[in-house]
């Protein structure tokens, strides 16, 4: 069975379990009605079936109501418990069972829609490998990670994940640290560089001295941060409960008045039943469920109604850069020619030299050459200088590709024009790879993490909706951050951040009383996503843990969907207010009829159910509601299609200009980026 089939079967089982109680309650009600209608068996038999339906569907609600009474809290559960207890006491068993059935259906819907368990947090530590290769002298042995000790020498080959936090003692490689640090390109690691558990070794063999294992690793610390952040979210008292505080005593007084004036206890029961705030109780969850379903069809998953309410109150939007505002992969964005060379010639020279390199930037160069239909022959005398560049030969020409310092060390002349252009590219947040032929620099290839085409439009639309404070957070250096912020229209940014730094920023803003939304995509964003008032994750590229830690998931990685979510949240809030208005009208009219003695308990249930149906129909209309399309206009779709990356570009988790190895794995805000 495939994973998709397993997930689908699990979902069906969940729906079956949630539908079990409402289904049994309905079956008991129909059985009771049938026995009474056709006079089958003694009266106590059909009454017993109805009473069994009440206890089966309402036991948990009754227990909650009794507990709330002892806590001196007046809630909807208290109201329902009192109303149904009196109804049962006067023998109106089926009327009580119908009320319970309605509430059981609503409860099942809420459980399925709003209370999905966040399972990925428990599995986060499995992101690190379960075993490690340890070197003892001249031989290697594979051992469980749990048996590793500080100062053990661990060997990690290309394509393997690093099992511990440690320091490289031998070898060199590009390591993808995006899941931990948010660093947008794989970071070059040489002797003395620090590495994290759970990161991916991409290109070379490393020997690492163990510094931290188990619960002490950065990955384990992130798990702890997520758990703590989730616990800080206090439950929100429902509007229905606050309404019931004053409504319940009022209804009791009216029921007493009805009984005293009529002398019929059934009049009091009818008043209690018609006033039962079921329509009021579902006014919010029904509208929220419809809004969630609407957004799900538009590839936006929302985990609870409270986030609709909070979305309309956002003061600050924090947005991770890599993988959120950008595609998170290197791409050739410009080719600058000099000394009479053509762009195609420069690209071909760079691609020939980089053809055998496994570095992500080399892949970007080769991919662009193939995209343009260039033939890329094999180089000769190919040699990589880690952290600097590549030398190669082809067709009697020597080729040097890399940093400007690397070219000069190899005796290549670099004109002032090319030097100025390299600096200009760095100031724009790009990596400039210089290309020299026969000891003369002939141009450069600029590579950058490509900004998503819809990003600038989405930022503009969010500002038009009243979210004026948008702050970009990134693990990249400040030059890259400034260049991206300028292009997308974001005024504020903070660079060189680790996961705890992002979480600290969220805490500080919330302490100031601001409603904070956080948008991210990686494990490193998970603690901040969990702590923010609204955590929003880019789902397709996002990790499972980030999706589970977040409250809203943009499944198609389109930031414009965030605009849809904010707009839909406002529609849902307006519909909730309309539903509350309807429920109050029905309650008021029903109370009036009940006090006048015009309702029997059964009619009271039907009248009360009519209010529920009205609210459900009102909420269902949201299913066909369309959010504004400011971020998804036809022009925007054409632009996105035109700017979509080619299939030939190699995908990586996160990209940015290269940076030097850093044993602390932290970005130096002053670093402009290096090539190898």
Polymer length in residues for the chain:
676
pLDDT at 9: 66
Residues 108 and 8 in one domain: yes
Name the pLDDT band for 674 (thresholds 50, 70, 90). Answer: very low
3-state helix, strand, coil in the chain (%, to 5): 55, 20, 30
- Least trusted range by pLDDT, from 260-264, 268-272, 357-361: 357-361
The verdict on residue 478 lying in a domain is: yes
**Active-site position among 241, 320, 551, 557:** 320
Integer angstrom CA distances of residue 37 from 30, 33, 40, 100, 231:
10, 6, 8, 21, 52
More confident residue, 237 or 360: 360
pLDDT at 436: 94
pLDDT at 250: 87
The verdict on residue 354 lying in a domain is: yes
The verdict on residue 485 lying in a domain is: yes
pLDDT at 95: 81
pLDDT at 226: 52
**Which candidate, 623, 533, 614, places its Cα nearest to that of 572?**
623
DSSP label at residue 493 = E
Name the pLDDT band for 149 (thresholds 50, 70, 90). Answer: very high
Q: Is the pLDDT of residue 521 over 80?
A: no
pLDDT at 643: 35
The verdict on residue 657 lying in a domain is: no
Q: Is the pLDDT of residue 639 over 80?
A: no
Residues 165 and 62 in one domain: no
Residues 331 and 317 in one domain: no
* 75-84, 275-284, 315-324, 615-624: which is most confident: 315-324
On whether the CB atoms of residues 622 and 571 are closer than 8 A, the answer is yes
pLDDT at 125: 55
SS3 628: coil
pLDDT at 563: 92
More confident residue, 70 or 327: 70
pLDDT at 572: 87
Residues 307 and 273 in one domain: no
pLDDT at 170: 93
Place of tokens 């930031």: 559
According to DSSP, the β-strands at 165-171 and 139-144 are unpaired
Name the pLDDT band for 4 (thresholds 50, 70, 90). Answer: low
Q: Is the pLDDT of residue 27 over 90?
A: yes
Starting at the edge strand that comes first in sequence, how are the strands of the sheet with 397-402 ordered?
326-337, 440-451, 431-437, 397-402, 389-394, 380-385
CATH number at residue 356: 3.40.1110.10
Q: Is the pLDDT of residue 151 over 90?
A: yes
Starting at the edge strand that comes first in sequence, how are the strands of the sheet with 552-554 ordered?
300-302, 552-554, 534-538, 516-520, 316-320, 469-473, 492-494
> In whole numbers, what is the pLDDT of the chain averaged over residues?
79
On whether the CB atoms of residues 196 and 218 are closer than 8 A, the answer is yes
SS (H, E, C) 278-337: HHHHHHHHHHHHHHHHHHHHCCEEECCCHHHHHHCCCCEEEEEHHHHHEEEEEEEEEEEE
The verdict on residue 663 lying in a domain is: no
The verdict on residue 671 lying in a domain is: no
The predicted model gives 27-56 an average pLDDT of: 91
Residues 457 and 322 in one domain: yes
The predicted model gives 159-172 an average pLDDT of: 92
pLDDT at 545: 61
- Least trusted range by pLDDT, from 104-108, 272-276, 277-281, 529-533: 104-108
pLDDT at 107: 64
Name the pLDDT band for 659 (thresholds 50, 70, 90). Answer: very low
- Residue 625 contacts by C-beta under 8 Å, 6 or more apart in sequence? 294, 568, 571
Q: Is the pLDDT of residue 28 over 80?
A: yes
The predicted model gives 216-240 an average pLDDT of: 56
Is 320 an active-site residue?
yes
Residues 4 and 62 in one domain: yes
Residues 186 and 249 in one domain: no
**Which candidate, 637, 16, 616, places its Cα nearest to that of 293?**
616
Measure the CA–CA gap between 493 and 491, rounded to whole angstroms. 7
Residue at a domain's end among 230, 263, 286: 230
Measure the CA–CA gap between 264 and 594, rounded to whole angstroms. 12
pLDDT at 650: 30
- Counted domains in the chain: 5
Name the pLDDT band for 152 (thresholds 50, 70, 90). Answer: very high
Residue at a domain's end among 433, 450, 467: 450
Measure the CA–CA gap between 17 and 106, rounded to whole angstroms. 14
The verdict on residue 668 lying in a domain is: no
Q: Which range marks the domain in which residue 191 is found?
A: 127-230
The predicted model gives 171-178 an average pLDDT of: 85
More confident residue, 207 or 576: 207
**Where are the strands (E) in 479-568, listed by range?**
492-494, 516-520, 534-538, 552-554
The predicted model gives 279-298 an average pLDDT of: 77
* Global model pTM greater than 0.75: no
pLDDT at 634: 40
Name the pLDDT band for 219 (thresholds 50, 70, 90). Answer: confident
pLDDT above 90 coverage of the chain, percent: 24
Measure the CA–CA gap between 365 and 498, rounded to whole angstroms. 29
pLDDT at 291: 82
The verdict on residue 633 lying in a domain is: yes
CATH number at residue 207: 2.70.150.10
pLDDT at 269: 84
Residues 467 and 489 in one domain: yes
More confident residue, 641 or 452: 452
Place of tokens 């109604």: 305
pLDDT at 199: 85
pLDDT at 230: 44
Q: Is the pLDDT of residue 429 over 80?
A: no
CATH number at residue 482: 3.40.50.1000
More confident residue, 614 or 75: 614
Residue at a domain's end among 84, 115, 146: 115
The predicted model gives 61-86 an average pLDDT of: 82
Name the pLDDT band for 645 (thresholds 50, 70, 90). Answer: very low
Tell me, rounded to whole angstroms, the distance of Cα 1 from its chain centroid: 27
Bridge partner residues of 399 (DSSP):
392, 437
Residues 391 and 480 in one domain: no
Residues 24 and 77 in one domain: yes
Integer angstrom CA distances of residue 6 from 2, 76, 552:
6, 38, 24
Name the pLDDT band for 625 (thresholds 50, 70, 90). Answer: confident
Gyration radius of the chain over CA positions:
32
Name the pLDDT band for 300 (thresholds 50, 70, 90). Answer: confident
DSSP label at residue 377 = P
According to DSSP, the β-strands at 469-473 and 440-451 are unpaired
SS3 596: coil
pLDDT at 446: 92
Residues 251 and 208 in one domain: no
Residues 614 and 581 in one domain: yes
pLDDT at 239: 59
pLDDT at 277: 77
The predicted model gives 594-610 an average pLDDT of: 81
């Amino acid at each position: 069975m495939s994973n998709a089939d397993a997930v689908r079967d699990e979902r069906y089982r969940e729906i079956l379990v949630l539908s079990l109680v409402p289904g049994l309650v309905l079956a008991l009600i129909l059985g009771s009605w049938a026995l009474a209608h056709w006079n089958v068996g003694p009266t106590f038999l059909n009454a017993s079936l109805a009473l069994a339906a009440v206890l089966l569907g309402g036991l948990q609600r009754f227990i909650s109501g009794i507990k709330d009474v002892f806590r001196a809290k007046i809630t909807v559960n208290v109201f329902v418990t009192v109303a149904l207890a009196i109804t049962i006491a006067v023998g109106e068993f089926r009327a009580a069972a119908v009320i319970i059935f309605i509430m059981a259906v609503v409860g099942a819907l809420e459980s399925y829609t709003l209370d999905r368990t966040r399972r990925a947090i428990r599995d986060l530590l499995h992101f690190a490998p379960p075993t490690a290769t340890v070197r003892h002298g001249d031989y290697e042995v594979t051992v469980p990670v749990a048996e590793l000790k500080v100062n053990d020498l661990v060997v990690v080959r290309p394509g393997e994940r690093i099992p511990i936090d440690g320091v490289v003692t031998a070898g060199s490689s590009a390591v993808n640290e995006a899941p931990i640090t948010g660093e947008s390109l794989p970071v070059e690691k040489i002797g003395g560089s620090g590495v994290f558990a759970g990161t991916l070794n991409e290109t070379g063999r490393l020997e690492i001295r163990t510094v931290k294992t188990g619960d002490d690793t950065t990955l384990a610390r992130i798990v702890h941060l997520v758990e703590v952040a989730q616990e800080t979210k206090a439950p929100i008292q429902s509007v229905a409960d606050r309404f019931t505080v004053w409504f319940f005593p009022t209804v009791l007084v009216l029921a007493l008045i009805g009984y005293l004036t009529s002398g019929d206890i059934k009049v009091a029961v009818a008043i209690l039943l018609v006033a039962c705030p079921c329509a009021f109780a579902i006014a919010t969850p029904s509208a929220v469920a419809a809004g969630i379903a609407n957004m799900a069809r538009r590839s936006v998953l929302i985990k609870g109604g409270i986030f609709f309410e909070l979305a309309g109150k956002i003061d600050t939007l924090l947005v991770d850069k890599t993988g959120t505002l950008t595609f998170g992969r290197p791409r050739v964005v410009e080719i600058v020619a000099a000394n009479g060379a053509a762009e195609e010639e420069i690209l071909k020279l760079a691609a020939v030299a980089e053809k055998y390199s496994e570095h992500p930037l080399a892949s970007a160069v080769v991919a662009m050459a193939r995209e343009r239909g260039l033939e890329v022959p094999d180089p000769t005398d190919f040699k990589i200088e880690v952290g600097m560049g590549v030398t190669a030969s082809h067709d009697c020409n020597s080729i040097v590709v890399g940093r400007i310092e690397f070219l000069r060390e190899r005796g290549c002349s670099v004109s002032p024009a090319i030097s100025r252009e390299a600096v200009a590219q760095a100031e724009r947040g790009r990596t400039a790879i210089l290309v020299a032929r026969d000891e003369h620099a002939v141009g450069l290839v600029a590579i950058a993490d490509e900004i998503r085409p819809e990003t600038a439009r989405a930022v503009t639309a969010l500002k038009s909706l009243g979210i004026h404070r948008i702050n970009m957070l990134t693990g990249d250096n400040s030059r890259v951050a400034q260049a991206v912020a300028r292009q997308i229209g974001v005024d504020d940014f903070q660079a060189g951040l680790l996961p705890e730094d992002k979480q600290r920023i969220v805490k500080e803003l919330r302490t100031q009383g601001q409603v904070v939304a956080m948008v991210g995509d990686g494990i490193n964003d998970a603690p901040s996503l969990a702590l923010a008032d609204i955590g929003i994750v880019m789902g397709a590229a996002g990790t499972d843990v980030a999706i589970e830690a977040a409250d809203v998931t943009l499944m198609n990685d389109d930031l414009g969907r965030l605009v849809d979510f904010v707009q839909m949240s406002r529609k849902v809030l307006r519909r909730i207010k309309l539903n509350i208005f309807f429920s109050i009208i029905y309650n008021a009219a029903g109370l009036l009829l009940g006090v006048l003695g015009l309702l029997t308990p059964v009619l009271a249930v039907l009248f009360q159910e009519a209010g529920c149906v009205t609210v459900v129909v009102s909420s269902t209309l949201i299913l066909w509601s369309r959010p504004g399309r400011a971020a998804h206009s036809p022009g925007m779709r054409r632009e996105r299609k035109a700017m979509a990356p080619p299939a030939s570009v190699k995908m990586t988790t996160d990209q940015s200009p290269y940076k030097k190895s850093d044993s602390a794995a932290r970005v130096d805000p002053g670093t402009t980026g290096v090539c190898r």
